[in-house]
Structures are given as C-alpha cells and as structure tokens.
Chains A and B, each alone.
Chain A
Amino acid sequence: MASIGHIVARTPAGEVLSRAQQRAMLVPDCLVEARRIANTVISGWHGRRKRGIGENFWQFRPYSDGESLSRIDWRRSARDDHTYVRDREWEAAHTIWLWADLSPSMMYKSTLGSVSKESRALVLMLALAEILARSGERIGCPGVMEPISARNAAERLATAIMLSPLAEGLPETGMIRSASDLVLIGDFLDPTDRIMERLGPLARRGLRGHVVEIADPAEEVFPYAGRTEFSDPETGQKLTAGRAEILREDYQRAYLARRESLGVTLRHLGWTFTPHRTDRPASEALVAVHMYLSGMPGRAPHGGQL
C-alpha cells in the first residue's frame, strides 16, 4: 500500500516566487497598523493621514493639560486666546520581519494535501513580502536579510533565501533591534513550552508577532489504519502501532489540544495565531495574516482564523 505521506524535495525559490506573486496580486496593499510608534528616522513612502512623527503639517489642535509644553506652537497660539499644538502627519515606515520554518518536518506532503508544507510556507512568506513591499513597508528576514524598503523586496528576499537557506527551527533574532512586526510561518510541532521559551523574550522586547501554523491534512485527520510503522523525519525515531485506527480519536484530541494551547498562549502575549492546512488555498492564510497586519481582524472570514 502506498504510503499516505512522503518527504518532498525543497521547492526552488523561483517557482515559489512566481506563485507568491500570483497570490499577492489577489491581495490588496497592506497598510500595517502600528499601534506602537516605531521611533525611527527612516521615513516611509507615504503619509499615514494621521498625526504622528513626520515632516508634513497635519493639523493644529488645542492644547490639553498634561502635554509637554515644548510641543506648543507659540506662533499659532499667539493669534488668539487659545493655546495650540501642531501635529505632524506620521510618515514613519514600519519594519516587518518575515520568517518561515524550513526544517525537515516541513518537507512533508500527504496525498490529502495539495502541496508540501514547506512550499506553502515559502509561498505565504514571499506573498506577504510582495504585498507589504507594495505598501512601502520595510521587509526583513531575521538572519538572512536586513530590512529593506524596496518595491522588489519579494524578489530580493527570494534571492537571499536561495543564497543562504533559512536556518531550521525558530529564527535568529539578533538582527531584530526595534519594535516591529514579526510573521512566523511553520508547523510548530515542538511542545508549546519549548516554543514559548524562544518567543517569550521576543514578545517582551515589544515585538508583535503573527504566527501561521501550516499543517498537512494527514497530520490533523490521521487517516491511517492497520499495522503501521511511523517515523519522524527530524529524529528518525520509529514507532509501530498495531492497529492505527484505534488511535485516531486519542491522537486527534492530543493534536488539537496542542494547537489550542499554543494559540491561547500566543494570544496572551498579544500575538495572533493562524492555523492553516495545505489542502486549502494559500490565499486564506494570506488574507487572514493581511487582516491582522492591517488591524482589521473582525472583517476577516471565520473571525480571523481558519
């Protein structure tokens, strides 16, 4: 009997890039909603049409108690009896780090899924890079590429990945220096507490994270029956089940419990969590992450989750 799941070769970056661009074309420009102002001097492409740190005048508004006196525009205030503060339009560009897990467990595709998990993760990452670059955000990849703000950021990210493959596991965070957004794409099959050991410090540094969990349908549905020997692609460990079908219920419970606990823990950090299955279109996850980045989760289908 042919096995259900198998290991696939790494997807070529070029192919992924073209697919990602196709996906990205379906998604409107992403305007990152920054709740915390990144105190950066690098200006973005276009104003945010709201007050903030920038060079262009935005509005005068009456002074309210408690504000710093140095912010009072004395010139305008001298015109009448009120005291005014000059607001500028916020034009700061935001940095968004994209990262995909390319560990061996991601090189997996079952007969139920349409593509391998690795392929789907790369597509999602590059599509996001494309969309965000279109919006003028600064795109970076921890450990691989410094943040850049360029229209062809997706191509350059693809090239960087091609030249220096992504480290396995969770990202090197040495490059991340300031408050920014982080999009993590992977299968997150490690135990929750081990994942949180790595992610917890990032959250404390003020990073805002968006986690996309890529799962193969076979991992979730467990369609095995009969005597089956399971092997782990990462450790090579083998496990034989006499009658796999009787395990299905227990396994599904354990699997979903892991996902649930990971999601809850991440949301406590203020991060978002998006599970995604490879038998679904990549656009679903893309739209969901897009909504989160845009600060409009309520308008995403399924309440922001798939």
Chain B
Amino acid sequence: MTGLPFLFANPALLAALIALPVIWWLLRMTPPKPAAEVFPPLRILASVLKREETPSKSPWWLTLLRMLMAAAVILAIADPVVNPRQNTLATGGPLAIVVDNSWATATDWEQRVDAVSTLIDDAEARDLAVSIAFTGDRQHDATPGSAATARNRLAAAAPIPLAVDRGQAIAALKTAFEGTKPGTLAFVSDGIEATDQKTMAALAEVGAAELRLIEADGSRTVALTDTSNGSTGMSVTATRLRKDGALTLPIVAYDTRGRAIADGQVAFAAGDGVAKGSIEAPFELRNDFARIGIENAATAGSVHLLDDGFRRRRVALLSGEARDLSQPLLSPLYYINRALAPYADLVQPHETDLAVAIPELLEQKPSVLIMADIGRLPEEIYPKLSKWIDNGGMLIRFAGPRLAAAPADDPLVPVTLRQGERALGGALSWSEPQPLADYPANSPFAGMARPNDILVKRQVLAEPTADLAERTWASLADGTPLVTTSARGAGRIILFHVSAEATWSNLPISGDFVEMLRRSVQLSRGGGVANEGKAQQQTLAPYRLLNADGVLVAETGNARPLDVIPGKAPVATAENPPGLYGSEDGFTALNLLPRNAELQPIDMTAAGAHTVQQLAGSESWSLKPALFTLALLLLLVDALIVLFLGGAFSRPRAAKAMTAALLLAASAFLVSPPDVLADDSRPEDAAILERLDTTHLAYVVTGESEVDRLSDRGLMGLTDFLTYRTTLEPGTPVGLDIAKDELSFYPIIYWPVSASAPMPSPQAVSRIDAYMRAGGTVLFDTRDQFSSLGAASGGTSPNTERLQAILANLDIPPLEPVPTDHVLTKAFYLLSNFPGRYTGSPLWIEAQLDNREEASNRPARSGDGVTPIMITGNDFAGAWAVDANGIALLPTVPPDEMQREYAFRSGVNIMMYMLTGNYKADQVHVPALLERLGQ
C-alpha cells in the first residue's frame, strides 16, 4: 500500500486542477460590468435605488465555495478509489487458506469467495500449490493441491447455520504441513472466537512464512440469543461482535407463514456487546409470533425461533364481591390482578350478572378462569362451565364466606368440602394460625422453598378421602390441604382453601402467592408439563430447519432427532442444526446460540507476526458518487446564497407571501373544526335522568294488586316521614318489574314476598343477583311474623317457603340478626329493634365475620360496605302505609301508635344506612376527636 489510502482511476484528469486559478479569476469577474450611463437626476434615482445596491464583487467566501464545487467535480471525474487491492504472496511454500464458513459469513459469503479466488489466482500466477480448509466442514483435507482443485472446493463450499469449531481444521492443516512449511497462510475469518480457543496462536504454530488475517469489519455480525414475553411486549436480547459505537437495529416478528407482523428495535450502547430490545404488540398478535429476526440480516444467528412455550395465557377473573370498586384493597381480585398481570392477560366481565358474565368471558376463550369467593352460580351456567373445563379449561377458585356457605354438592370443587369454615386462633380455640408445610413433590409448586412467614387464620376444610393427598398441591403444617386440584376431562379445577384477600391469611400479600398463581397458570398450557411436573424424556424428529440465510426450510438433510431432556437446554450441533423439532401440532425450537451467549472477537494477544487485511471487495469503493453529491450540495447552497443576497427573501411581497404561507400552515394545525357530536340521545333518557335527579324508594311489583297498593302507600308514607324529619327528600315511590326495569337507580328495593304471587323467572332472580352484587340492597319482607305462629314447632309459612325458593338461586352471604352494636341501630335514631306492623321478627343482614375480636367498648361496629340483603317478617309497608290525607291505612298489631312511630324510625335508619354506609359508625369517634382537639 502506498501512503494514500486511495488511488485515482484517472489521475490524468487531476491536471484540470490547474484550471482552478482561471476559474477563480472568472468567478471574481462576476457580476458583469454594468453599462455606464450619465444620469443628471441621480439624486432622484438614488432615493428609489437604496435597497437595490449590490456589491460589485462577490464576497471571497462565495468564490471559495464555487472553487470547492469546481474542485469536487474535477476530483470526482478523476474517480478516486478508496482502499484498492494490492496483493503479493510469499513464495517460500504452498499457499494455505483457512476459510470460516460459519453462520456469520452468510451475508458476505460472495466477497469471501472473491477474496479466496483472488488468492488462488495469485498462487496460480506464481505456480504455488494451494491448500484450502473450511472450518465448518466435518472432515478436513488440507493437503496442498492444484489451484483448480482448490477452486472446485471453494465453489462447493457454503456457509452453515452453526458456529464453527476451528480446532479440527487447524489440526488437519498442521498434519498436512508436517514436512514443508507454507509460504502464506491466509485465514479468512468470521471474526468470532469460539469458546476457549486461541485460533491465532494455533495458526501461528503452523509455521507459515507469512500469516495473513483477512476479515470483514464484523459490525453487522449480530445475533439474537433470547426472547421473553412480557406484559406489553416481547423483549429480545441480542449480542454483537464489535462493541465500539452505538448501533440500533430493527427487529421484526414473523408469523408461521413468514409474514412480518410486528417490529421493534434493539439499541446497542457504545461499548456494549449485549442489548435488549422489545417488540410492542398486543397479546393476540404476539401469540402468532413464530420467529424473530433482525431486519436485512440474513444469517441463522440473527433469527430466533419461538415455540408454544412463549404464548401468554388469557385469564378471566370473576368475583362474588360487591365492593370491588370503592375499596380495592379489600377486593380479592386486586391481589390476583397484581400477581398475574406481568404473566398473563387478564379479562374481566362488563356485567355483574353471572348468568351473562360467564358466557361473555368464555366467549373470549380464556385459558384460565379464576373465581374468587363465588359460592353458587346460576343453574344454567354449570353445564357450560363443565363443558369448558372438559375441553381443557382451567378453573381456579378461591374460598371465602360465600363459598363456605355454599351447599356441599357444588360440582365445581376438586374435593368435597365441609360446610362452613375453620378458624384457627381466636378466643374459643386453642389452635394457632398455621404456617405452610413443605410443598409435596407431585405439586407444580415443588422446588419452591417452604415459606415461614405465611400464616393461615381461616380456611375451608376438605372431607378426608383416600386420594386427598394426591390431589393436594400445598398443605398447612397440620396436614390440612391448602391447595387442592382435580383433573376434569382435558381440564383442571384448582381450589385455594383460603380467600384471595388478606383477611383469611397473609398468603395473598406474599411472594409465594405470585409464584403459585404463575405456576398454576403455566400448567394450563397445552403441551409441555402436563403430567404434574414429572420429568420425561422426549425425542423429537426434525420438522423445519434453519438454513445459513436464516430461512426455515422443510429439507432436513442429515439432521438427527433431537433428544429433549427436561431441565437441560438442547444445543445446536452438526447433528441437530437449529430449527423446529417435533411436528406441526407441537414443536420445540432449537436456536443457534444458547441463552446468554455473547459473541467474542478473536483473541489477538498470542497471534505473533501477522498482517491484517480487510475483505477487499467489501472495502474498495469509489469516492465518485460522494464527491458528485458534495458538488451538488454546494451548488444548492450557492443557489440559496445567491437568492439570499439578491434579496429574494427580504422583498416585502415575498416576505408577506412567506408569512401568509406560514400562518396558513400554522392555522391548519391550530384551528381544528368545532367538535361535532353525534346525537346519541335515546327516548328513555328523560325518564332515566328524572330517576337520577332525586332518590326514589322502589318496590317490587308482585302482581297482586292489594300487596302492590300497600307497598306503594307504605313507601309513600315513609317518603313523607323522611321528608318531614330528615334532610333526605325522596321522590315518589317507584314500582319495579324486576324482569324488565333497570334496577341500578335505586339504593334499596323493597320486596314484599307473597306466596300467592307468580314465582319470578330465573332471569329476574339473576338480575336481582347482579343488582346485589353491584352494591344494591333488597329488603325482603315476608309479612308473616304472626301467621307463622300457628305452625308451632319449626313450621314455615308459605311466604317464607317462597322466600327460600327465591334465595335458592341467589348467591348470598351468611346472615345474622342485626347485632346490638350494628350501625343500623344508630344510623339516625337509636333503636333496639325494628318493628313494622308486627313486632318481634329479627331483621336479618349480612354477617360480619371478622369483627368479633374488636374492642368491646366501641359503641358501633364498622363494617365494610353495606349489606346486600335484609330479611324481615314485620311487614314494614303495612305500618308505613298512609292514605292521601296522612291517615294510617292499617292498624298495628298490637294497636300501639308508638310501634308505628318506631316502624317509621326503622325505615329512616334503614334508608340512612343505605345512603351513608358505615359513615355513622365513624361518627362515634367524634367525642374522642373533640377531646384530642382540646375542646
């Protein structure tokens, strides 16, 4: 090489540079000499010419710019070529060539072949024998032969989709040159050092007169090593050979047919060999990913194959709780949500009515359905759910008060449950809250350390059966199961015997909860670990293989079946080249580079004397286009300068036009058309707004005119009383057809149960269920306090039987009579009982389970939320009913006007409790607060 890094193809043309001074002179002449004119009224002319004055000579820098332009054109015509090839071979012995044909050479294989051909040509010109060895071959023959033979072998060689092992090739070379020493040893390298090899040192040992390393710059040698599926996108790990300089590469995800369906990018920081990128795509799209590749990098290393294991599961969530929205930390779904959101895609129903919500969820084809504390489902749902589980769905259930109160014949639990729950620890128990035992070996949780900080205070118990131990995935230290499971058809039911919020145990706020849920959800995948985690060895036939260009081909060649040993990642070898193994139904991906692999450049420390040469073909390039481009750019700059000097941008009209154009462009962005809204009002909107403007009391229309009239007049009487005594001024009462009318406008619905009225349809009951789940309250009134007296011992009245029939289809929590310290007794008036037309029947409300150990000196218990159901037999409406003149319609039994007054007060308390919740319970702290404030 000469001193200059480039040569001129036409050096004679450089003589034209002599013309530059002439051009300089010519350029200085411009602008042309003006015509001289004598003009007496020059003063007048001067007054209009002021703006037009131009210098008679162009400025020096403009001239310089034009000179540069001329010089660039002359140089471009002379055609400088950077890095021209000049080669000579040492003549001491045969030429030895070692050629890497690994995956990294696929992109520039043609150039490598050119480089080697040039070497062979040179050797032929000097009458040297040629020995050629390819490091990717399985057998090596490095014996020196004729140039023609070497050419044939070169033509037959091709890059392979594997990393190469150079040891054998170099050993063969050493054997071949046992007696003679090669003259020039050329190593056409891919630049990647194999693990624990010192290639250059080994080559130096061959003893060639000249050691020459020919390599590409390797800046495009990039490989994908790992992918993982995240919550919003798929993260991709890539490694590269050259660590200098920042590099950003586009990556593309392809589906099974090879269509690009998503893209992202990987950005290497300067000095980093490993980088992570991500492909943002919706979950459905990510499930279609079959292959991730670096765009425009056609090598086997730049492709990462995916199999089924990468798919995220869709998990549907259901809860029996009504209080999800306002108090998230009390909602079981909150913890499940937080635990699963990174691993799965969660869907929740839009409807609260389970009869609608569950089919809606199953429509979305979830892999897993999680039901937190749902005791009873609508009757018609059971067959649908069972069929879904049989088809491979996984149902995960959590216990809770509702499940504990559910009847024992629930078909959707894995083990038979005892009714009610077991409390560990407490005033009446010697037992202590229990920690967890070690996870059984047959459990998918096996391998997780036994958590010591988890304590279970309350659980539901399984009836002991013979196979209970097999079905248990986790148990407490005393042996009672905590997680049980059973397979149903192709699917599975898993039951956590504790609730999914932190009231029964602290499991939901521990890390094990996340891991347990994640492993459970992992199980729902089709293939893989179906047999409860037992190790099993599989042998998979090659299905599609990756060729050196990173394309999947059906041709399997002499690839051998892949032995998949669980727990051990398969490695790509010559027998098992990278590709997909298995069949069309299920396959395992084998990738070229193992996870966490990094590309290392060749170790040059022990190389000895050698010359390094770039691949000539890749480096020899002409400067001509660049110079022409430079000249063109300079021309454009010159034109702009001339326009500027000529005042094209300062003339008022041009400036005005420019301003106008800018304003127009700006206004296009700033001025948006006025919002046009589609008229989506509906005819019933007025009625809905009327209902929402004021609170209305509501009752269920039973169909019996006398009952309905009394309900209407009774609620009217209560409305008047409320208006007179409290700040609440309800509107006129509303009669509801629960099968059709919208229920959610009303805080409470009064339901006088009548045995002679028609039984409500299952859909209507399901609507009531949804109404209660969404936070509404139904006040059932059987009005039979004294009629049931007749049946002395345990007899039930027809109304009560009807109520039981109705409640049989509702998912209701455990009930209790209003405790004396309940907030209902203090919501407005201080009450000890809740009489109606009759007295004596207790008012049943949802039981508050966990507050028993609270300090007894508190005057009121603070429950969370409002009871969804109230049941009484005292005939409230009968006591409240008044006619248009305010005269009571029915006498109380016994005839005591104080009892009617208390009946109204009960109604006021119930309404206040409905509208304020546990606010009154908090009010009991007012004396303490005032004391602290020092008043």
Contact = CB atoms under 8 A, between A and B. Distances in A.
A229 B52 contact: no
A234 B46 CA distance: 14
Nearest to B53: A240
Interface stretch (B27-35, B282-290, B299-307, B597-605): B27-35
B41 interface: yes
A229 B34 CA distance: 6
Q: What range describes how many residues of A lie at the interface?
A: 35 or more
A250 interface: yes
Nearest to A216: B40
Contacts of A241: 34, 45, 49, 52
B34 A247 contact: no
B40 A240 contact: no
A191 interface: yes
Contacts of A234: 40
A258 B45 CA distance: 12
B48 interface: yes
A239 B42 CA distance: 8
B926 interface: no
Interface string A213-226: 00010110000101
Interface in B12-57: 31-49, 52-54, 56
A128 B45 CA distance: 33
B764 to A, nearest CB: 91
Interface stretch (A4-12, A144-152, A167-175, A269-277): A4-12
Given A240-B54, A241-B49, A247-B49, A229 B44 contact: no
A189 interface: yes
A5 B41 contact: no
Contacts of B49: 239, 241, 247
Contact of B39 (A1, A191, A232, A243): A232
A255 interface: yes
B52 A191 contact: no
A41 to B, nearest CB: 44
5 contacts: A3-B38, A189-B40, A229-B34, A230-B39, A241-B52
Q: What range describes how many residues of B lie at the interface?
A: 20 to 34
Interface in A171-225: 187, 189, 191, 216, 218-219, 224
B37 A219 contact: no
A226 B646 CA distance: 15
Nearest to B48: A250
Contacts of A247: 45, 48-49, 52
Contact of A5 (B38, B45, B47): B38
Nearest to B50: A239
Interface in A228-285: 228-235, 237, 239-243, 247, 250-251, 254-255, 258
B35 A254 contact: no
Given A189-B40, A227-B35, 13 more contacts: A4-B37, A224-B37, A226-B35, A228-B36, A229-B36, A231-B39, A237-B42, A240-B54, A240-B56, A242-B54, A247-B48, A251-B44, A254-B45
A228 B35 contact: yes
Given A227-B31, A227-B35, A247-B45, A232 B52 contact: no
Given A239-B49, A251-B48, A219 B40 contact: yes
Q: Which 4 A-B pairs have the closest CB atoms?
A: A105-B40, A232-B42, A230-B39, A229-B34
A84 interface: no
Nearest to B55: A240
Contacts, number: 95
A90 interface: no
B44 A254 contact: yes
Given A227-B32, A242-B54, A250-B48, A187 B38 contact: no
Contacts of B35: 1, 3, 224, 226-229
A230 B44 contact: no
Contacts of A224: 35, 37
A108 interface: yes
B650 to A, nearest CB: 14
B38 A242 contact: no
Nearest to B32: A227
Given A3-B35, A247-B52, A239 B45 contact: yes
Find the residue from B31, B43, B44 having the highest chain A CB count within 10 A: B44
Given A232-B43, A240-B53, A240-B56, A5 B48 contact: no
A219 B42 CA distance: 9
Interface string A280-296: 00000000000000000
Contacts of A233: 38, 40
Contacts of B38: 3, 5-7, 108, 230-231, 233
B797 to A, nearest CB: 111
Contacts of A3: 35-38
Nearest to A7: B38
Nearest to A117: B40
Given A3-B35, A227-B35, A239-B49, A187 B44 contact: no
A305 B273 CA distance: 95
Given A191-B43, A240-B54, A229 B48 contact: no
Contacts of B34: 226-229, 240-241
Contacts of B36: 3, 228-229, 231
A240 B54 CA distance: 8
A299 to B, nearest CB: 32
A187 B44 CA distance: 13
A108 B52 CA distance: 26
Nearest to A258: B44
Contacts of B44: 189, 251, 254-255, 258
A86 B54 CA distance: 76
Contacts of A235: 42
Contacts of A218: 39
A226 B32 CA distance: 10
A149 B439 CA distance: 147
Contacts of A187: 40
Interface string A1-31: 1011111000000000000000000000000
A219 B40 CA distance: 8
Contact of A239 (B32, B33, B46, B646): B46
A226 B35 CA distance: 8
B41 A255 contact: yes
A121 to B, nearest CB: 13
A68 to B, nearest CB: 54
A7 to B, nearest CB: 6
Contacts of A231: 36-39, 42
Contacts of A239: 42, 45-46, 49, 53
A148 to B, nearest CB: 33
A251 B52 CA distance: 13
Contacts of A219: 39-41
